[in-house]
């Protein structure tokens, strides 16, 4: 897959079909990758595809002007299609290099399972549905469902539907949907006051670094409401009330644009379980309006469209 | 601390100027009796109401938020109320999931001629909120500063 | 004063003694969010997992949110009310050498011109008890920033792992005073000192990330106008606040009034030069573009700080590398800054 990606990317740059290639290259730390955003055809040999390509590169599309060849997984492709629906990206300006995704490995799950931190692991190897982790010279085997990100377990579209070049044979979902819902199910079992208390506690440690917002391809506003000072919607100080308000409103603002790619949760340095919010919103939107983010570029986006009769039960 | 006065819910109402605002006016001019618990903010269309306003209302300490616009099909701008409906529906559902009592977030369709419906809606919303109790969602026992709403 | 030692299993008693006199902070897991929190008085379980905290110990001196004063307007007069000062002495147990070093860098800023009372009230009231690092991360590069995993020069007391015991070294006078009145310590032997030396060397060998910073100040100065380089460098940055908030040497803060009619509270909180609104002014924003902000971050740490205070504002703790959502690696950037100006400066 990597070879195909590199040659396609090189051809795109050489033929002048794109100005940039957005992909992944090996990161500076073990078992990581980092976004490679380049105009230089000599860089394409560094491109990789592996179970650690976590970033959602659609985020960078709204920043740069020009035609882009972009590597996307299923979830990223939905973010990209959503941007096309919102007219933030022109379909003709992107060449989509689709990666049929087999699920990404959540290093924090691996760390918990083997009781060691990422940099102390010798090797992580993916073979089919199994993942082999070597630590202290001993090789341990785990089913992919134990070490994949929750979002990957709940994934509905591992292979991009919208693409120009598909880099491999289509894959099917891991099919452990329930396992991807553990956090949400736990919350739903609680009474409202307990749920609110839960979020209050979680958001009390938010330091307002805005990584959740800044890694999000759906958060493309030039200026976010939290940065407004007249009127001041939220205080800039990191108190739990304003932290929570920020995140709730952010989730509502990206409803129908969020593809549940889980980047907000992964980026959070204080590990707030943000996917328990994004996934619920994803499901609410699906349930109320039968809408799934980024499935069809010709479909109107959630908030620009309506049906004559819908959701009336919620209005007096 | 406990004075004799009974707690009374405070509601912020975002009313569309083409319909619900006029409906509220009509309720007043026709001397309908309804609880004085809503503080009205006139908006050009219910579609103007960003869910942020709802959250901000709750954050400021209002016990409930009411968004009211034209009946489906009657929007002065053709589709504003349909958009409001989508926004309010997800806001209500999502906040319920977060642990907010659903009674606190209300949306209604009230036309300019429905003074009666406006009065009844306010009465009903107020009544429900009395049962729900005061909004302590954003209260912090340690916090005693400016961000608390005026009571 | 001769060096002392203490059995690891007796550490609880030691902390117990100290907590009588001090408000004691230790590395705490806090769910999955390692940071320094007041000791719960129970155990030293942190020894099992502690490598370094995610939230740096600067949060105990420069909290993410801090009340400066309250104000109230009554009958046309404004009343100010200062927050009650913490008078109890504090002890930070287990601070890593890189973070202790960072404290001395923060000092330079907060004592420049005048002493910042909010910071120094805590700083001067706090004793630092260091714990030499034995398991540095692959992202650590303290040895390239003039430090080492066992550097004892910036703490009051230093503990070094020598197997079943810790070697206890009193560094400053305050440290010596405390050790003198602390019970339960044994005098260390020469064999202990040798084992400590071995432990130090072993840890140092584990710091594999190296970067040459000898001429970075000059390189940064020469490359200030090199827009192409900075744009390329900044391309994948998402302008979040992680690297600055988690940096033990970054100190930027905003001041904000939370008001309600006649009263309110003035707070300060962590701010970040990575944010696009950080330098927003009524007429313009001199760093509205991402590459300028990334340049600023680099230049502040490795050019302006050395020019002003003679030291770089980086201790190589590696938090910015470990926690960056896009793996923007500051050591790679240090390496890649061009040696010679490629652009004529204006």
SS in 3 state form for B100-136?
CCHHHEEEEECCCCCHHHHHHHHHHHHHHHHHHCCCC
Q: Residue B83 contacts by C-beta under 8 Å, 6 or more apart in sequence?
A: A303, A306, B47
Which of C184, C206, C228 is where one domain is finished?
Answer: C206
Residue ranges of chain A assigned to CATH 3.10.450 = 105-147
Segment B128-134 shows an average pLDDT of 95
Residue C345 reports pLDDT greater than 60: no
Of the pLDDT bands very low, low, confident and very high (cuts 50, 70, 90), residue B147 is very low
Of A199, A241, A315, nearest to B98 by CB-CB distance is A199
C118, C194: one domain: yes
Q: Do C99 and C93 contact (CB within 8 A), yes or no?
A: no
Query: How would you label A82-102 residue by residue, b for 16+ Cβ within 10 Å and e otherwise?
Result: bbbbbebbeeeebbbbbbbbb
Q: Residue C97 contacts by C-beta under 8 Å, 6 or more apart in sequence?
A: C130, C132, C133, C142, C147, C148, C149, C150, C151, C152, C154, C155
Structure tokens at C176: 């010596």
How many residues are there in chain B? 151
C185, C229: one domain: no
Residue A137 reports pLDDT greater than 50: yes
Residue C317 reports pLDDT greater than 60: yes
- Locate the chain C residue with the closest alpha carbon to A205: C33
Give which of A241, A270, A274 to mutate to test C binding, by max C Cβ within 10 Å: A270
Q: What is the pTM of this model?
A: 0.94
Residues 69-108 of chain A with CB under 8 A from chain C are none
Residues 44-63 of chain A with CB under 8 A from chain C are 55, 59-60, 63
Distances (CA, A) of C253 to A171, C63, C83, C250, C268: 48, 10, 18, 9, 6
Name the strand (E) or helix (H) holding A242: helix A240-253
Q: Residue C104 contacts by C-beta under 8 Å, 6 or more apart in sequence?
A: C154
Give which of A21, A26, A29 to mutate to test C binding, by max C Cβ within 10 Å: A29
Of the pLDDT bands very low, low, confident and very high (cuts 50, 70, 90), residue C93 is very high
Structure tokens at C311: 């030291």
| Predicted pLDDT of residue A176 | 84
- Within B1-151, residue ranges assigned H as helices are 20-29, 51-59, 80-98, 115-132
Of B82, B88, B98, nearest to A248 by CB-CB distance is B98
C197, C263: one domain: no
CB B145 to CB C260 under 8 A?
yes
| Predicted pLDDT of residue B145 | 42
Of A35, A209, A213, nearest to C236 by CB-CB distance is A35
Domain enclosing residue B22, as ranges: 11-132
Residue B146 reports pLDDT greater than 50: no
Question: What is the spatial distance between Cα A170 and Cα C246, in angstroms, rounded to a whole number?
Answer: 40
Q: Do A240 and A200 contact (CB within 8 A), yes or no?
A: yes
C202, C220: one domain: no
Of the pLDDT bands very low, low, confident and very high (cuts 50, 70, 90), residue C193 is very high
In 10 A of CB B108, how many CB atoms?
25
Distances (CA, A) of A262 to A49, A123, A266, C88: 19, 25, 6, 43
CB B147 to CB C258 under 8 A?
yes
Mean pLDDT of chain C: 94
Q: In the CATH scheme, what architecture does the domain A105-147 have?
A: Roll (3.10)
pLDDT tens-digit readout, C106-129: 999 999 999 999 999 999 999 999
Q: What angle do CA A274, B56, A249 make, to 5 degrees?
A: 25
Looking at per-residue pLDDT, the higher value among C184 and B150 belongs to C184
Distances (CA, A) of B91 to B65, B96, C55, C173: 12, 8, 33, 60
Can you list the pairs that A221-226 forms with residues at least 24 positions away whose Cβ atoms lie under 8 Å?
A: A221/A253, A223/C277, A225/A249, A225/B52
CB B145 to CB C265 under 8 A?
yes
Dmax over CA atoms of chain A, in Å, equals 65
* Residues of A in Cβ contact (< 8 Å) with B89: 288, 310-311, 314-315
C192, C300: one domain: no
Residue C182 reports pLDDT greater than 60: yes
Classified as helix, coil or strand, B11 is: strand
CB C240 to CB A214 under 8 A?
yes
- Within chain C, residue ranges assigned H as helices are 11-21, 46-49, 97-110, 117-123, 173-180, 190-206, 216-222, 227-234, 242-245, 290-299, 305-309, 319-323, 330-336
CB B150 to CB C261 under 8 A?
yes
C16, C154: one domain: yes
Residue B148 reports pLDDT greater than 50: no
Percent of chain C with pLDDT over 90: 89
pLDDT tens-digit readout, A189-234: 999 999 999 999 999 999 999 999 999 999 999 899 999 988 899 9
Distances (CA, A) of B144 to B149, B150, C67, C80, C254: 11, 12, 12, 15, 21
| Predicted pLDDT of residue C36 | 96
Of the pLDDT bands very low, low, confident and very high (cuts 50, 70, 90), residue C308 is very high
pLDDT tens-digit readout, B36-75: 999 999 999 999 999 999 999 999 999 999 999 999 999 9
Q: Do C153 and C118 contact (CB within 8 A), yes or no?
A: no
Residue C86 reports pLDDT greater than 80: no
Q: Residue C3 contacts by C-beta under 8 Å, 6 or more apart in sequence?
A: C167, C168, C169, C170, C187, C188, C192, C193
Q: What angle do CA C179, C180, C181 make, to 5 degrees?
A: 90
Residue A316 reports pLDDT greater than 90: no
| Predicted pLDDT of residue A229 | 86
Q: How far apart are the CA of C180 and the nearest CA of chain A, in angstroms?
A: 38
β-pairing, C263-270 vs B64-69, is unpaired
User: What is the number of structural domains in chain B?
Assistant: 1
Of the pLDDT bands very low, low, confident and very high (cuts 50, 70, 90), residue C346 is low
| Predicted pLDDT of residue A65 | 86
Q: What angle do CA A239, A245, A247 make, to 5 degrees?
A: 100
CB A253 to CB B51 under 8 A?
yes
Segment B100-107 shows an average pLDDT of 96
pLDDT tens-digit readout, A253-301: 999 999 999 999 999 999 999 999 999 999 999 999 999 999 999 999 9
| Predicted pLDDT of residue C178 | 96
> Which is it for the CA torsion A63, A67, A71, A75, positive or negative?
positive
Looking at per-residue pLDDT, the higher value among A147 and C261 belongs to A147
Looking at per-residue pLDDT, the higher value among A65 and A194 belongs to A194
Phi, psi for A182 (deg, rounded to 5): -55, -50
C131, C276: one domain: no
| Predicted pLDDT of residue C253 | 95
Q: How far apart are the CA of B146 and the nearest CA of chain C, in angstroms?
A: 4
How many residues are there in chain C? 346
Of the pLDDT bands very low, low, confident and very high (cuts 50, 70, 90), residue C62 is very high
**Has residue B141 been placed in a domain?**
no
Which of C147, C180, C206 is where one domain is finished?
Answer: C206
Q: Do A282 and A260 contact (CB within 8 A), yes or no?
A: yes
Classified as helix, coil or strand, B60 is: coil
Q: Do B65 and B11 contact (CB within 8 A), yes or no?
A: yes
> Which is it for the CA torsion C183, C188, C192, C194, positive or negative?
positive
Of the pLDDT bands very low, low, confident and very high (cuts 50, 70, 90), residue C259 is confident
C130, C245: one domain: no
| Predicted pLDDT of residue C256 | 93
- Locate the chain B residue with the closest alpha carbon to A291: B86
Classified as helix, coil or strand, B51 is: helix
- Locate the chain C residue with the closest alpha carbon to B151: C260
Segment A103-107 shows an average pLDDT of 96
Question: What is the spatial distance between Cα B18 and Cα B22, in angstroms, rounded to a whole number?
Answer: 7
Domain enclosing residue C221, as ranges: 216-336
User: What is the number of structural domains in chain C?
Assistant: 2
Mean pLDDT of chain B: 90
Segment B81-88 shows an average pLDDT of 96
**Has residue B102 been placed in a domain?**
yes
Phi, psi for A224 (deg, rounded to 5): -80, 150
Segment C188-211 shows an average pLDDT of 96
Domain CATH for B79:
3.40.50
Q: Do C132 and C52 contact (CB within 8 A), yes or no?
A: no
| Predicted pLDDT of residue A175 | 81
| Predicted pLDDT of residue C281 | 86
**Has residue B139 been placed in a domain?**
no
Segment C35-42 shows an average pLDDT of 93
Q: How far apart are the CA of B131 and the nearest CA of chain A, in angstroms?
A: 16
According to DSSP, residue C344 is labeled: -
Residue C321 reports pLDDT greater than 90: yes
Of the pLDDT bands very low, low, confident and very high (cuts 50, 70, 90), residue B144 is very low
**Has residue C184 been placed in a domain?**
yes
C267–chain A Cβ distance below 8 A for any pair: yes
- Locate the chain C residue with the closest alpha carbon to A115: C49
**Has residue C80 been placed in a domain?**
yes
* Residues of B in Cβ contact (< 8 Å) with A226: none
Of the pLDDT bands very low, low, confident and very high (cuts 50, 70, 90), residue B5 is low
Question: What is the spatial distance between Cα A135 and Cα A141, in angstroms, rounded to a whole number?
Answer: 11
């Amino acid at each position: 897959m990597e070879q195909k990606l590199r040659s396609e990317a090189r051809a795109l740059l050489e033929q002048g079909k794109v100005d940039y290639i957005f992909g992944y290259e090996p990161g500076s730390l073990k078992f990581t990758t980092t976004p490679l955003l380049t105009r230089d055809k000599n860089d394409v040999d560094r491109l990789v595809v592996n179970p650690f390509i976590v970033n959602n590169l659609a985020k960078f599309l709204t920043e740069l002007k020009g035609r882009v060849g972009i590597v996307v997984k299923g979830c990223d492709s939905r973010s990209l299609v959503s941007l096309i629906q919102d007219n933030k990206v022109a379909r003709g300006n992107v060449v989509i290099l689709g990666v049929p995704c087999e699920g990404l490995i959540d290093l924090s799950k691996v760390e918990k399972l083997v009781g060691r931190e990422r940099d102390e692991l010798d090797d992580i190897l993916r073979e089919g549905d199994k993942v082999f982790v070597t630590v202290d010279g001993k090789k341990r085997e785990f089913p992919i469902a134990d070490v994949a990100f929750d979002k990957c377990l709940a994934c509905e579209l591992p292979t991009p539907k919208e693409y120009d070049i598909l880099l491999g044979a289509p894959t099917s979902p891991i099919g452990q949907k329930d396992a991807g819902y553990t956090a949400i199910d736990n919350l739903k079992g609680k009474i409202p006051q307990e749920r609110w208390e839960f979020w209050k506690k979680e958001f009390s440690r938010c330091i307002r670094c805005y990584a959740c917002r800044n890694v999000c391809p759906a958060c493309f506003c030039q200026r976010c409401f939290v940065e407004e000072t007249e009127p001041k919607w939220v205080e800039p100080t990191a108190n739990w009330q304003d932290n929570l308000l920020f995140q709730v409103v952010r989730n509502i603002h990206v409803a129908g644009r969020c593809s549940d790619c889980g980047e907000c949760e992964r980026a959070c340095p204080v590990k707030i379980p943000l996917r328990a919010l994004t996934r619920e919103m994803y499901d609410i939107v699906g349930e109320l309006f039968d809408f799934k983010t980024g499935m069809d570029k010709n479909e109107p986006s959630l908030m620009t469209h309506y049906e004559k009769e819908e959701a009336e039960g919620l209005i007096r | 601390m406990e004075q004799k006065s009974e707690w009374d819910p405070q509601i912020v109402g975002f009313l569309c100027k083409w319909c619900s605002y006029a409906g509220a006016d009509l309720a007043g001019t026709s001397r309908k009796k309804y609880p004085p618990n809503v503080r009205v903010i006139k908006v050009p269309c219910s579609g103007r109401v960003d869910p942020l306003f709802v959250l901000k209302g709750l954050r400021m300490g209002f016990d409930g938020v009411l968004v009211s616009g034209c009946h489906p099909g009657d929007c002065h701008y053709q589709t504003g109320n349909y958009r409001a409906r989508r926004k309010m529906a997800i806001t209500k559902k999502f906040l319920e999931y977060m642990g907010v009592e659903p009674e606190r977030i209300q949306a209604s369709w009230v036309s300019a001629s429905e003074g009666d419906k406006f009065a009844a809606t306010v009465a009903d919303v107020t009544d429900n909120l009395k049962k729900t109790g005061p909004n302590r969602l954003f209260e912090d026992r340690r916090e005693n500063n400016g961000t608390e709403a005026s009571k | 004063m001769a060096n002392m030692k203490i059995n690891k299993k007796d550490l609880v008693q030691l902390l117990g003694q100290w907590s009588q006199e001090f408000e004691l902070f230790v590395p705490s897991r806090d769910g999955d969010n390692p940071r320094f929190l007041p000791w719960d008085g129970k155990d030293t379980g942190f020894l099992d997992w502690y490598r370094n905290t995610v939230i740096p110990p600067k949060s105990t001196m420069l909290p993410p949110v801090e009340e400066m004063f309250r104000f109230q307007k009554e009958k046309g007069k404004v009343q100010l009310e200062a927050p009650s000062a913490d008078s109890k002495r504090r002890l930070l147990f287990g601070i890593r050498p890189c973070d202790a070093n960072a404290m001395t860098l923060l000092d330079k800023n907060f004592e420049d011109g005048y002493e910042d009372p909010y910071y120094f009230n805590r700083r001067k009231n706090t004793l630092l008890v260091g714990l030499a690092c034995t398991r540095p991360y692959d992202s650590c590069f303290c040895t390239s920033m003039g430090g080492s995993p066992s550097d004892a020069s910036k703490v009051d007391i230093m503990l070094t792992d020598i197997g079943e015991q810790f070697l206890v070294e009193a560094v400053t006078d305050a440290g010596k005073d405390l050790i003198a009145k602390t019970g339960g310590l044994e005098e260390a032997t020469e064999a202990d000192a040798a084992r400590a030396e071995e432990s130090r060397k072993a840890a140092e060998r584990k710091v594999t990330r190296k970067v040459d910073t000898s001429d970075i100040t000059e390189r940064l100065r020469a490359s200030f106008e090199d827009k192409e380089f900075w744009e390329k460098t900044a391309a994948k940055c998402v302008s979040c606040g992680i690297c600055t908030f988690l940096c033990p040497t970054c100190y930027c803060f905003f001041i904000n009034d939370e008001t309600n009619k006649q009263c309110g509270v003035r707070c300060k909180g962590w701010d970040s030069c990575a944010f696009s609104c950080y330098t927003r002014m009524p007429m313009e924003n001199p760093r509205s573009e991402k590459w300028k902000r990334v340049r600023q971050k680099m230049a502040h740490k490795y050019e302006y700080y050395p020019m002003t205070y003679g030291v770089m504002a980086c201790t190589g703790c590696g938090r910015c590398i470990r926690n960056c959502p896009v793996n923007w690696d500051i050591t790679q950037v240090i390496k890649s800054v061009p040696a010679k100006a490629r652009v004529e400066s204006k």
